[in-house]
Chain A
Amino acid sequence: MEWETVIGLEIHAQLATKSKIFSGASTAYGAEPNTQACAVDLGLPGVLPVLNAEVVRMATAFGLAVDAEVAPRSVFARKNYFYPDLPKGYQISQYELPIVKTGKLIIALENGEEKEIGITRAHLEEDAGKSLHEDFAGMTGIDLNRAGTPLLEIVSEPDMRSAKEAVAYMKKIHTLVQYLGICDGNMQEGSFRCDANVSVRPRGELALGTRTEIKNLNSFRFIERAIAFEVERQIDLLETGGEVVQETRLYDPDRDETRSMRSKEEANDYRYFPDPDLLPVEISADFIEKVRLELPELPDIKRQRFVTELGLSAYDAGLLTASRALSEYFEAVLAELEGEAKLVANWVSGELSGRLHKEGLEIAQCPVSASDLAGLLARVVDDTISGKIAKEVFAAMWAGEGSADEIIAAKGLKQITDTGALDALIDEIIAANPNQAEQLRAGKDKLLGYFVGQVMKATQGKANPGMVNQLLKQKLLGSGKHEGSS
């Protein structure tokens, strides 16, 4: 039988606020355990939550970015369950009335086609703390620094049909929340993670199969592998006469498999009810308009603009707009090198991105500033150095040896563009290679490259390659205007 995979994702994006969603404690990552948990986060008797207004703005911005209706009235509810890292015994979330209603997002498929993924809703909630099972010999340590960190839970429709589609959707949301400045997207620190609902059904069948939920996936690679494993597991089960059990599963990246965590029967009855400590969130049309006006240029629009206005290929435009920081770096370089979009694009998506990737750095940590890179490329544009030498200069800049001009001067990398000096050198080389010169004149065009190579070698790469070409052709072939003549 041919099977169809059905996937829906619940993405948890940690909102990039300074303080927590219902308290004034800091949200900064990595502090000593329990040093960023105030009385409210600890759930002490008598404390009350007060909503951080910034999360409302951020959720509104997200809603607008996915073409969703931002609810004029949304309500916080309590999700009741006991767990040691859940201080109040309930999580404040939104249930019946979320802040963001139905929206959508277009993803690009591998075959180049586009697909619309429905967004069911997005709601605000607080994160729980962390249980630490190591280092406590039979006990559990509780760190409540993360308790009360604001999350936006983005729930998709079950519209994805493969692990790759799920990853494409997740990446798209990842890019979007960073463009909006509402999430730092740091997956290692857990700022961006998802639960995947996975089921399979015979192709052509309309009813959905029984689903399982894979919890807490925090890398694109894990999502793809976890879903792939789970799909295979479910198909195997069904094909051998078994049944898929509705349950929560955990992905173990070390063993590359999913394991049962708890079944539906063991699931909590969360006893949701509106939180009487918080008033409903009311959002005016004016507020929504204000947020709309403050929205940054979104990735899809920016990508299109790069293609239509700057003449970049769709591929380059896609690479450069994959993160807001990278696109802004590109635009900052371009601002100093008007009309050189393709050159800048090649450098930013090529040499620069390659180097960042190799060293595991984010664009924000790049040792070469946009202005410095513009300084380097300006020397390529004005023929001071060749592209090849530019890479050498770039490496020196990366190592902190100075600006492009300083390095060119210090290392004497300036191109030889003095025709007189080159003239004499080329005459010398032709004289030293009479046989090759003869064969070239006789029509063996390939040998032109040999002569160029000799000249470059003699000048240690500093000769302007275009000029060398032209002079050689003049001297050996009596032409120079028509490159590539055969």
Chain B
Amino acid sequence: MHKMTLAQLARGLHDGEFSSLELTEHFLKRIEQYDEQLNSFITVTGETAREAAKAADARRAQGQAGLLTGLPLAHKDIFNTRGVKTSCGSRMLDNYIAPYDATVVEKMREAGFVMLGKTNMDEFAMGSSNETSFYGPVRNPWHLEYVPGGSSGGSAAAVAARLAPAATGTDTGGSIRQPAALCGVTGLKPTYGRVSRWGMIAFASSLDQGGVFGASAEDCALLLGSMAGFDERDSTSIDRTVEDYQSSLENTLEGLRIGLPKEYFAAGLDAGVAERVHAAIRHYETLGAEIRDISLPNSQLAAPVYYVVAPAECSSNLSRFDGVRFGHRCEDPKDLVDMYMRSRGEGFGDEVKRRIMVGTYALSAGYYDAYYLKAQQVRRLISNDFAAAFDEVDVIMGPTAPSPAFKIGEKSDDPIEMYLSDIYTIAVNLAGLPGMSIPVGEVDGLPVGLQLIGNYWSEARLLNIAHRYQQDTDWHLRMPDVFV
């Protein structure tokens, strides 16, 4: 069953080939069997999953099942889940049982999904390798000595190893697309405002967006349809009809204009990755697409802008973790300042502290104009680059990450080197655009991802473009041998 895509599993449930309980048990068993090696889950909710699966089977028996009723799913541990630990990968929230559900969790449960558990992630979504998690690094299913990418590394690894047929993630600077690429799965980060942020623990509010991992574009279409939509509890969510992402999957790519930004193929890109990406693009030519060279001239500014804006917002967003009302509080504080300092000092890991300090500095009196304000101005230039590009092309393509997965520990002492692994993904968040990563090959046994960037609200078109490629290829269906 684990070799089937979500869409195939949905048909299997519908046709009575297996029950939701059987399906759920199957994945719970796989988690039990394999996750010791992968460390992709922080919490497994076996009991509630079985109950939810039974309830789903009962609904099906009464003829009340929907398309997605009874399908198992894992949530990134950044989404609040009522009654279940929601740690955000941090010691700070190791004792935190969420009292409410995130909108994404609520909507997907109502759509019929059965939650298997909560996946591992970089602490507070800050990281590109899943090494900053309080719960230890996640391992790449394709090679256990390698990172799965981050910050949604647990979700990507779990889907790649088929410990879950699908999983949610969040993407602030590439945290869905980069691990999707490194783990060889399909990942989608929607337009900013498409998916509610209510109940999703904030890292950088103006960049964070929930999204999904699946085995295929078709699966991502199913998943997105169930999680997207306006939410009055999130002022930045947008009141716009959710499209039927299934119905346009087969649309023709004849005449599709694909833009290749020269900046995404410049120095720093691994030759093997470049080769696989070009091969994928050549395949699109055979499907009738037209390739154009374009430029996103301010691309080199994306990383510096991101590493001002994101830490600035995080420094404020993470102030609520003060040991007063919830989360970690130090033992025997001698006074208020001691309580703050030790609770936060003990509760947060190094990368989180580094970003809080950078962000605090960037917002300080006397530095605000030079850093935060300037960064916001440059952010506008980066958006303008995309706007100009989308006057000429329908989709932008390039590598998702500059290299395949790297070894655990290889970059953990060099933050700048680590930050560069998001070099092609962060501009998309700064502009608020939708993006995808799909597997298009391997280099030395490690997956390579092709990034698709669309204009605002073009999720249906992106899924269509990805789906047509996957109709002709099988990179997305391959599984790491160990987990077959």
Chain A positions near chain B (C-beta within 8 angstroms): 39, 42-51, 78, 80, 82, 84, 87-90, 140, 142, 269, 271-273, 276-279
Contacts and interface: CB of A to CB of B under 8 A. Distances in A.
Contact of B319 (A48, A88, A142): A88
B320 A46 contact: no
A46 B102 contact: yes
Given A45-B93, A45-B96, A273-B316, A84 B206 contact: no
A48 B96 contact: no
Given A42-B325, A45-B96, A50 B364 contact: no
Nearest to A268: B365
Contacts of A49: 235
Determine which residue in A80, A272, A277 has the highest number of CB atoms from chain B within 10 A of its CB, and name it: A277
A41 to B, nearest CB: 11
Interface in B94-109: 96, 98-100, 102
Contact of B236 (A82, A142, A277): A277
A89 B235 contact: no
Nearest to B96: A45
Contact of A43 (B320, B360, B365): B320
A226 to B, nearest CB: 27
Interface of B: 79-80, 86, 88, 93, 96, 98-100, 102, 197-202, 204-206, 232-236, 312-313, 315-316, 318-322, 324-326, 336, 340, 360, 363-365, 368, 372
A39 B102 CA distance: 12
Contact of A273 (B202, B233, B340, B372): B372
Nearest to B326: A44
26 contacts: A39-B100, A45-B86, A45-B321, A46-B197, A47-B198, A47-B199, A48-B235, A49-B235, A50-B234, A51-B235, A80-B316, A80-B319, A80-B363, A82-B340, A87-B320, A87-B325, A89-B322, A90-B316, A142-B325, A269-B365, A271-B363, A273-B316, A273-B368, A276-B204, A277-B202, A277-B235
Contacts of B233: 48, 50
Given A44-B98, A45-B88, 11 more contacts: A43-B320, A45-B80, A45-B202, A46-B98, A50-B232, A50-B235, A89-B318, A89-B320, A269-B365, A271-B364, A276-B205
B372 A48 contact: no
Contact of B360 (A39, A84, A271): A271
Contacts of A273: 312, 316, 363, 368, 372
B237 to A, nearest CB: 9
A45 B325 CA distance: 11
A42 B98 CA distance: 13
B363 A142 contact: no
B364 A44 contact: no
6 closest Cβ pairs, A-B complex: A89-B319, A271-B363, A276-B205, A276-B206, A46-B199, A43-B320
Nearest to B339: A84
B270 to A, nearest CB: 34
B325 A43 contact: yes
Contacts of B318: 89
Contacts, number: 102
Contact of B99 (A39, A43, A51): A39
B324 to A, nearest CB: 5
A48 B234 contact: yes
A46 B206 contact: no
B234 A269 contact: no
Contacts of A278: 235
A296 B100 CA distance: 43
B239 to A, nearest CB: 12
Nearest to B102: A46
A140 B80 CA distance: 29
Nearest to B206: A276
Contacts of B235: 48-51, 277-279
Given A39-B99, A48-B197, A279-B235, A271 B320 contact: no
B80 A84 contact: no
Nearest to B88: A45
B80 A46 contact: yes
B272 to A, nearest CB: 38
Nearest to B309: A276
B205 A277 contact: yes
B316 A89 contact: yes
Contacts of A44: 80, 98-100, 320, 325-326
A48 B198 contact: yes
Nearest to B363: A271
Nearest to A34: B325
Contact of B316 (A39, A46, A78): A78
Contacts of B313: 276
Contacts of A89: 316, 318-320, 322
Contact of B324 (A90, A142, A279): A142
B320 A88 contact: yes
A46 B201 contact: yes
A46 B363 contact: no
Contacts of B100: 39, 44
B308 to A, nearest CB: 11
Contacts of B198: 46-48
A233 to B, nearest CB: 29
Contacts of B79: 46
A82 B340 CA distance: 9
Nearest to B207: A276
A269 B316 CA distance: 13
A32 B393 CA distance: 60
Given A271-B360, A277-B236, A45 B319 contact: no
Determine which residue in A45, A78, A140, A273 has the highest number of CB atoms from chain B within 10 A of its CB, and name it: A45
B106 to A, nearest CB: 12
A142 B360 CA distance: 26
A80 B315 CA distance: 9
Contacts of A84: 322, 324, 336
A459 B99 CA distance: 77
A485 B198 CA distance: 87
Given A276-B313, A279-B236, A46 B202 contact: yes
Contacts of B326: 44-45
Nearest to B376: A274
Contacts of A87: 320, 324-325
Contacts of B322: 82, 84, 89
A236 B232 CA distance: 57
A277 B206 CA distance: 7
A45 B312 contact: no
Contacts of A46: 79-80, 86, 98, 102, 197-202
Contacts of B320: 43-45, 87-89
Nearest to A80: B316
Nearest to A50: B235
Contacts of A90: 316, 319
A48 B233 CA distance: 7
Given A48-B198, A82-B340, A278-B235, A271 B316 contact: yes
Determine which residue in B79, B96, B199, B319 has the highest number of CB atoms from chain A within 10 A of its CB, and name it: B319
A269 B315 CA distance: 13
A7 to B, nearest CB: 26
B170 to A, nearest CB: 11
B370 to A, nearest CB: 13
A276 B430 CA distance: 13
A38 B181 CA distance: 40
A39 to B, nearest CB: 6
A276 to B, nearest CB: 4
Contacts of B324: 84, 87, 142
A82 B363 CA distance: 15
Nearest to B360: A271
A49 B202 CA distance: 13
A78 B453 CA distance: 32
Contacts of A47: 198-199
A219 to B, nearest CB: 29
Nearest to B198: A48
A394 to B, nearest CB: 53
Determine which residue in B96, B204, B232, B363 has the highest number of CB atoms from chain A within 10 A of its CB, and name it: B363
